Amino acid sequence: MDGARHRMSPIPETLLPENALAVESWLPGGMDGCPHGRRHRKTAPATIVAIVERGAYEVGRSDGSCQRATAGEAFLAQEGDWLDIVHHADRPGGTFAACWTHLRVSVFGSLDACRLLALPPVLAAAPAAEIRGHIAATRAALPGLGGAARRAEAAMATLRILAGVAPPSAEGRQLLARAAGLAPLATWVRAHLAEPIRLDDLAAVAGVSKSRLHARFQAELGLPPLAWVRELRLQAARDRLLATGEAVAGIGAACGFPDQFHFSRAVRARFGLSPLRLRAQGRLGGD
């Protein structure tokens, strides 16, 4: 493996330069005419903002809590949250309508920016309306550089709105310091996802011994370095499944899973769905 050596020393926690943020995905969608009582369970593949246009959402969580979002409000979910979602019509014999977006803005190439926020389970109507405007403006296909810029603007604007209503998360400072320290290594890993990556390679890029690298990962993240690499591979695969029309086998190979069966099993184990189901859920909206 090639690559320059990088020291894993974090920047000060108070410093977050603009180039620390990168839009990885912005996937707007919607439904109208959904029957009363439709129910589905899912693990959020990204941060979800789902805005009720008619009727109500009832959302159960893994901690046993249950929230209700009514017309104009939105329910919020962090990447990885388990959700039990029920759609309620606006009246007997009526239907349900909503719009949503799945977004991921990364910090230092590895941390979901929304992890720095203690998102409320339900977002009030005023900020939800602002986000709804960005969803509406990007629902249609927007080709070319201008379209990509508009989607990125929508993602950043939504993140800014959420940061304006949600306090910092309790673990935010610690997560940010870790992400800053791992940024050079994460950048290198993302540039070599299609290749085999060994512990020796990671240690050489980080400029530390294998034992020290392993000890630091265990102390700070609670997992071995190669498990972290696997997570980056799966995040990249998920983003490409949701944002592109590439063949599943091609995505797997590009993200370091040359065996399609192994890739499918890994995606299912991480996100609870096969690659094709994960893609369909993101596009057809199971929110």
Do residue 38 and residue 80 come from a single domain?
yes
Which of 97, 131, 165 lies at the terminal end of a domain, its last residue? 165
CA atoms within 13 A on the CB side of 134: 25
**Does 255 lie in the same domain as 186?**
yes
Task: Tell me what pLDDT residue 12 has.
Answer: 41
The type of residue at 170 is A
> Please, are residues 110 and 232 in contact by the beta-carbon 8 Å criterion?
yes
Residues 95, 187, single domain; the answer is no
pTM, to two decimals: 0.78
- For the stretch 158-190, pLDDT in tens is 999 999 999 999 888 888 888 888 888 988 999
Domain tally, the chain: 2
Q: CA distances (Å), 149 to each of 114, 145, 153, in order?
A: 20, 6, 6
158 and 179 share one domain: no
Predicted pLDDT of residue 252? 96
Find the distance separating the first CA and the last CA of the chain, reported in whole Å. Answer: 42
14 located within any domain: no
**Residue 39 main-chain phi, psi, to 5 deg:** -135, 140
Percentage of residues in the chain with pLDDT exceeding 90? 62
Q: What angle do CA 169, 29, 242 make, to 5 degrees?
A: 75
Are 27 and 110 contained in the same domain? yes
pLDDT band at 286 (very low <50, low <70, confident <90, very high): low
| Domain CATH number, residue 219 | 1.10.10.60
The predicted-structure confidence for 116-148, as pLDDT tens digits, reads as follows: 999 999 999 999 999 999 999 999 878 888 888
Instruction: Calculate mean pLDDT across residues 17-27.
Output: 84
Last residue of a domain, one of 102, 137, 165: 165
Residue 158 lies in a domain: yes
Output the CA torsion sign for 36, 102, 77, 189: positive
One domain, residues 37 and 145: yes
pLDDT of the residue at 283: 55
Distance of CA 132 to the CA centre of its chain: 19
Do 189 and 149 belong to one domain?
no
What integer pLDDT is reported at residue 4 of this predicted model?
A: 41
Query: Within a domain: residue 10?
Result: no
- What's the CA gap between 103 and 115, in Å, rounded? 12
- Do residue 96 and residue 223 come from a single domain? no
Q: What is the bridge-based pairing of β-strands 66-70 and 74-77?
A: unpaired
Interior/surface letters 171-204, b for 16+ CB within 10 angstroms, e for the rest:
ebeebbebbbbbbbbbbbbbebbeeebeeebbbb
Indicate if the pLDDT at residue 284 is higher than 50: no
Note down the domain range covering 262: 172-284
Distinct helix (H) and strand (E) counts, the chain = 9, 10
Q: What CATH number does residue 80 fall under? A: 2.60.120.10
DSSP 3-state assignment of 212? Answer: helix
Specify whether 144 is located in the same domain as 280.
no
Kindly give the residue spans of alpha helices, DSSP state H, lying in the chain: 125-138, 144-165, 172-191, 199-206, 210-220, 225-243, 248-254, 260-271, 275-284
For the chain, give the mean pLDDT. 88
Q: Are residues 38 and 153 in the same domain?
A: yes
Angle between helices 225-243 and 275-284 (to 10 degrees): 50
Report d(CA 77, CA 254) in Å as an integer: 29
In a domain, 9, yes or no: no
Q: Which of 116, 149, 165 is the last residue of a domain?
A: 165
Cα(144)–Cα(83) distance, rounded to whole angstroms? 35
- The label of the residue with tokens 């070319």 reads 144
Position 240 in a domain: yes
Instruction: Provide the pLDDT confidence category of residue 282 given band limits of 50, 70 and 90.
Output: low
Mean pLDDT, residues 64-84 taken together: 95
Asked if residue 37 has pLDDT above 60, the reply is: yes
154 occurs within a structural domain: yes
The answer to whether residue 276 is domain-embedded is yes
pLDDT at 10 over 50: no
**Mean pLDDT comparison of 35-44, 169-178, 240-249, 256-265, highest-scoring range:** 256-265
Residue 117 sits in the same domain as residue 64: yes
Does 92 lie in the same domain as 229? no
- Domain membership of residue 13 (yes or no) is no
